[in-house]
Structure 1
Amino acid sequence: MKILFVCSGNTCRSCMAEAIFNSICDIDNVKAISAGLSVFPGSKTSLNCAMIVNESLNLDISNRSAVQLNPFIIEEVDIVLTMTAYIRDVLRDTNETYANKIYSLGEYIGNNAEISDPYGGSLDIYRKTFVELKSNLEVLIEKLKEDKGIR
């Protein structure tokens, strides 16, 4: 199973979600990738995002290039999880063929949380986003285990 996390520019939330998910997921053959709705050409993971991921997961994503979302990526994954309902709605409207596999992360795990964009914020704001994402992703992993009958 392949999960796609999507945010605006793929420099903060979605790449952080990808790193966290792939670090904590203990389900065989389940991996995450990430992309952005409106990627600025040549952009990389934000400095604060890279610092928090390194400090929390001992993982260096500082040279990771942002990935522009396109229909081919959506086609190749099993589920698309967005950071906000707005991004979900944009993707459903522009990818009607795949609308049945596009959800906001909060909607999918049942808490309807919106993951706010930390871009330009302090390290503390990025830490808060990291903790929020990790908490939501732990719930996601448990949901995936239940759906697959894995313990």
Structure 2
Amino acid sequence: MKNILFVCTGNTCRSCMAEAIFNYFCDISGFKAISAGLFVINGSTTSKNAAEIIKNNIKEDIRNRKAVQINRNLLETSKLVFTMTSGIKNILREDFARFKNKIFTLNEYVSVHSDIIDPFGSNIEAYAETYDQLVYSIKLLLQKLKGEAGIF
């Protein structure tokens, strides 16, 4: 199995939504998304609004999913690492320099020139906007991965 790792700040909104979206839309054999956060609060779970957006759109229940702290093992076992912002990418590349060649922002990898909006603490409409952003970028990512399948 080839892991694709999505990373955001706390692993309660963007990256866990990206994990669910990727796994829902992925039709490439042998690929699976996982996710983690840069600064995880111990015991935290998926935000209520993120879980609701995922449930309403792709019928997956991620309410009780526990946030995961980024660590070296996750980076070692992942083929590619996609962050939600350039700031998170820069921190990971500095803290885990050995893996810098496989760490990108999701949007830079698919040639979209913006970060993924952090909806944390916002209303459900903000989460829906982030969901739409993620779906768009992840569909582009899947197309790109299909074209690069031979290099993995």
Same fold? TM cut 0.5:
yes
Distance 1:24 1:130 in 2: 13
Distance 2:83 2:67 in 1: 16
Distance 2:28 2:7 in 1: 21
Distance 2:129 2:98 in 1: 35
User: How far apart are residue 71 of structure 1 and its match?
Assistant: 1.0
Distance 1:25 1:46 in 2: 24
Query: 1:2-151, aligned counterparts within 5 Å?
Result: 2-148=3-149
Contact 1:105 1:113 in 2 (8 A): no
> Which deviates the most, 69-78 or 13-22?
69-78
Question: 2:148 is paired with a residue of what secondary structure?
Answer: helix
Q: Deviations over 1:66-108 (max 9, x none)?
A: 0011111111111100000110000000001111110000111
Identity fraction in percent? 48
Contact 1:105 1:112 in 2 (8 A): no
Question: What are the ranges of 5 or more consecutive residues in structure 2 without an aligned counterpart?
Answer: none
User: How far apart are residue 112 of structure 1 and its match?
Assistant: 2.7
Q: Deviations over 1:38-73 (max 9, x none)?
A: 000100000000000000001100000000111111
User: How far apart are residue 113 of structure 1 and its match?
Assistant: 2.2
Q: Which amino acid in 1 is paired with 2:147?
A: E
User: How far apart are residue 116 of structure 1 and its match?
Assistant: 1.3
User: How far apart are residue 19 of structure 1 and its match?
Assistant: 0.2
Contact 1:79 1:102 in 2 (8 A): yes
Q: 4+ residue stretches of structure 1 with deviation over 6 A?
A: none
Q: Which amino acid in 2 is paired with 1:42?
A: G
Q: Which amino acid in 2 is paired with 1:91?
A: L
